[in-house]
Amino acid sequence: MTSPSSAPVAFTVEQARTRLGALTVLDVRTPGEYASGHVPGAVNVPLDRLPHAVDAVRDAAARRDVLVVCASGNRSRRACLLLAEHGVTAATLTGGTGAWAAAGHDLHRPAGSGVRAGWSMERQVRFTAGTVVLLGLLLGVLVHPAFRLLSAAVAGGLVFSALTDTCGMAALLSRLPHNRPRPADLDTALAALRDA
């Protein structure tokens, strides 16, 4: 599926749907995003916790092909590359859960998980960036013009994010408590991978 030096194989929604029963599906979004709806049978291991799960994913990959899913495909591609560095082959779902839902397929929601469905990471980034820009502009008018540099810094960060296909703000937001898995949730996910 992927090697450390190549881009990961990408499954279309239909390819993934027809093979779903034969795949181990790994959802690398935050717990809140996962709770808002995920591909049926997906196990949630957030991208920033994936290095702790490599052994369990390797065990699962020895039994079944691994499909990595996120909201749009960016985090899942990064996850596939990280796994490839550890000798684990995986594919990504083109368009992520957004494409899965747009194709008319159901998204499952965990019952009684105690995790509240939250905003997608992209939505959290847009909200935070917009808030900081408005705050910088408002403080620049009311307090001191130098506060407008805050807005300029966010704009520069967004341009850098687009050019490098990375997002520092998303990395920071993913560390907030509502975006972090509880240790018990991660332990449950690792156990599910070992049993897959």
Which residues make Cβ contacts (< 8 Å) with residue 80, sequence separation at least 6? Answer: 1, 2, 8, 68, 90, 91, 92
Catalytic option among 67, 70, 133, 170: 70
Neighbouring CB atoms inside 10 A of 18's CB total 11
Phi-psi region of 87 (alpha: psi -120 to 50; beta: other; left: phi over 0): left
| DSSP 8-class letter at 4 | T
d(CA 79, CA 73): 10
| Residue whose tokens read 């979004």 | 29
- Calculate ∠ Cα 79-124-103, nearest 5°: 65
Q: Is 70 designated active site?
A: yes
3-state secondary structure of 37: coil
- Whether 123 contacts 71, CB under 8 Å: no
Active-site residue numbers?
A: 70
